[in-house]
Amino acid sequence: MNPQPDLSFDYSPWTFQANATAAQREAQLERQQALAGKDGITIGDAAYVSPLAMVDPDSLALGDESLIAAHAYLTGDLRIGSNCTVNAFTVVRGTVSMGDGVRIGAHTSILGFNHSMDPSQPVFRQPLTSKGIVLGDDVWIGSNAVVLDGVTVGSHAVLAAGAVVTKDVPDWAVVGGNPARFIRDRRTPRKAASGQGAAANGEGILRERLASFAGTARADAPAIIARSWQQEASGTGGFGEGRYVDRPGAAATVRAHCDAVEIADLLLRAAPPQLSRDAHVDRLASLQDPRTGLVPEYGPDGLPAAGELAFGNGAATYHVLSVGYALDLLGSGFKHPIHAVAGTGPADLAERLNALPWRKEAWESGAWVDAWGTAEYWNLARTAEGPGSTGTLEALFGWLLTRVNSAAGTWGTPSADTRLKVVNGYYRLTRGTFAQFGLPVPHPEQLIDTVLEHGADPRYFAAGRQNACNVLDVVHPLWLARKQVTHREADIKAWASTQLDHALGQWHPGQGMAFSAAPESGQQNLPGLQGTEMWLSIIWYLADLLGHSEALGYRPRGVHRPEPAFLLPTL
């Protein structure tokens, strides 16, 4: 018998809706109204917040039917989806985003912040840092687990009781231990996951191969970045100290600097050592043209090239992606809004989309949409300073959803002659829109059929014919669609396995990876920063399609990040 029946709802909040009296419902409503009266706090229907919980966030979005039990401690910027349960004595602090259906066991700590570790001063005097924690949908977290800052937990994952999670967890994974390690895929029967049989042995060999590859890449990363640093004598013009080139002998480019930042973050979780983090930020941010918000390429003198900048023309368009995400990885961002996009109204945007050469140049059109969506993302991320573009994102997605080829799942009609550009354009378009903003892609089964047909073309995917763009532009659409459907699962895995086997064999010790495997591709067959950055991300996506990306110990966080960068508000 419960000696304190009035506390039942506080420790078992899921019983409230079915059993609470009218007075108890009124008291709960008053508590929620008091909380929601503070700026930045919203509470959904049929939610429950125990009066014994310490809920003191900077912002909180608590979804419908979500529950916060007694003695939970919540602070920071929190987004909790619907049907989530934060059980008794759980700590959720810092920047934390949860999907729907997340269950968190008692005494768990989800810590979306950290202390700096400068040895020159005591910890208590150092500023806090926050990368944030993202939990997907349908995540089960056992009691006494700890999830540390910077971790992303995929949908349908299980974190065993007592797990200390320091690295990203893929969709459907079961992890446990300290530090948490992959145990099995939730969809795999326990007997099959125990290591019995040839298939399990093969998966074990693949995991070992992935871990070995990643270990080699981490060990080589400092040398790969250093060989692409072009030292310059002071006073020779430009930035004086030096600039990044894709590979020795190549011209310095803005993208090479961004690729160096991406590789260092991915493998070393640090800034490239040739400059301090602040110097990297200053160097990249200073390139931005304050009038257009675009970033030009270097001129012959090493300074930003002179001339008119126009969105959609030249390297400045891709720099919206590469420089923006490099600054983001460095903990900063553009100084100025992307004025070339800001203020575009729905009608103007529709006119520009209609004018793109979709039939003849599907890739060019998709690349334009990618850059536009990314520019809009950066502008949204700094709305406190910069102009907004109310309604334009909605207009973009509306235009795309009404123009998609429902038979192929693409924008443009794929044929033997056009399929390459259509599929590659699809990757660019969806990267900057549906993927970047966390929205489902239309017609995923038809898309998979189209992409797999293209992926079987020996002109682009036979051994020794691959290049990073072509493989990325197949694996990413397959990965996106597979999040929504299980259509042709075996075919997808077979393609991914073949391409992964090839990619893992293309590492050049101390130099990284070449953009192209084809010897006749000239300079593209030489290892450099661009090839290395792209193939590292490709290998992650290929491994993730096979359920083994966690063996790599890294997860893309920049241009090729698998998580949405910005979730649009929902009703």
Three-state DSSP class for residue 244: strand
CA distance linking residue 218 with residue 189, whole number of Å:
33
The answer to whether 68 touches 87, Cβ cutoff 8 Å, is: no
Instruction: Quote the pLDDT of residue 18.
Output: 85
Exposure of 360 in the CB half-sphere (CA atoms within 13 A): 3
The confidence score (pLDDT) of residue 441 equals 97
Rounded distance, CA 544 to CA 483, Å? 11
pLDDT at 259: 98
Q: Look at residue 334 and tell me if it is in a domain.
A: yes
Same domain (yes/no): 147, 294: no
Q: What is the CATH number of the domain that holds 271?
A: 1.50.10
Whole-model pTM: value is 0.68
Round to whole Å and give the CA distance between 74 and 136: 19
The position carrying tokens 């310490």 is: 54
Write the CA distances from 205 to 154, 200, 497, 546, 555, integer angstroms. 24, 9, 13, 13, 20
Distance CA 59, CA 79 (A): 8
Same domain, 295 and 276: yes
Q: Is residue 570 part of a domain?
A: no
Has residue 483 been placed in a domain?
A: yes
Give the domain CATH number at 17. Answer: 2.160.10.10
The tally of domains found in the chain comes to 2
Residues 466 and 523 in one domain: yes
Domain boundary among the residues 167, 194, 221 is at 194
- Please give the chain's pLDDT, 571 residues, in tens: 344 556 788 988 988 988 889 999 999 999 999 999 888 999 999 999 999 999 999 999 999 999 999 999 999 999 999 999 999 999 999 999 999 999 999 999 999 998 877 777 787 777 888 899 999 999 999 999 999 999 999 999 999 999 999 989 988 889 998 888 888 888 766 555 455 555 556 777 898 899 999 999 999 999 999 999 998 755 444 455 799 999 999 999 999 999 999 999 999 999 999 999 999 999 999 999 999 999 999 988 778 888 889 999 999 999 999 999 999 999 999 999 999 998 889 999 999 999 999 999 999 999 999 999 999 999 988 754 444 456 899 999 999 999 999 999 999 999 989 999 999 999 999 999 999 999 999 999 999 999 999 999 999 999 999 999 999 999 999 999 999 999 999 999 999 999 999 999 999 999 999 999 999 999 999 999 999 999 999 999 999 999 999 899 999 999 999 999 988 876 6
Structural domain of residue 54, as residue ranges?
5-194
Distances (CA, A) of 234 to 86, 238, 258, 279, 497: 57, 9, 22, 16, 49
The HSE-up count of residue 195 (CA atoms within 13 Å, CB side) is 4
Q: Residue 16 is inside which H or E element, if any?
A: helix 16-19
Q: Same structural domain for residues 148 and 255? A: no
Identify whether residues 294 and 408 lie together within a single domain.
yes
Domain presence at residue 249: yes
Is residue 190 located within the same domain as residue 205?
Answer: no
Q: Which residue, of 174, 194, 214, is where some domain finishes?
A: 194
Same domain, 181 and 64: yes
Give the whole-angstrom CA distance, residue 238 versus residue 300. 9
115 carries an active-site annotation: yes
Residues 142 and 111 in one domain: yes
562, part of any domain: no
Q: Under a CB-based contact definition with an 8 Å cutoff, are residues 299 and 316 in contact? A: no
Q: HSE on the CB side for 565, CA within 13 Å? A: 27
For residue 267, the model assigns a pLDDT of 96
> Do 224 and 207 share a structural domain?
yes
Catalytic residue among 71, 107, 115, 476: 115
Q: Do 403 and 499 lie in a common domain? A: yes
Residue where one domain finishes, among candidates 194, 212, 238:
194
Q: Are residues 242 and 121 in the same domain?
A: no
Same domain, 178 and 208: no
In a domain, 112, yes or no: yes
Q: Is residue 568 part of a domain?
A: no
Distance (Å, rounded) from C-alpha 474 to C-alpha 450? 10
Judge whether 561 lies within some domain: no
pLDDT reported for residue 443 = 98
Distances (CA, A) of 119 to 128, 150, 501: 14, 21, 43
Token look-up 């066991």 returns 105
CA–CA separation, 31 and 33 (whole Å): 5
Per-residue pLDDT, 385: 40
Q: What is the largest CA-CA distance in the chain?
A: 84
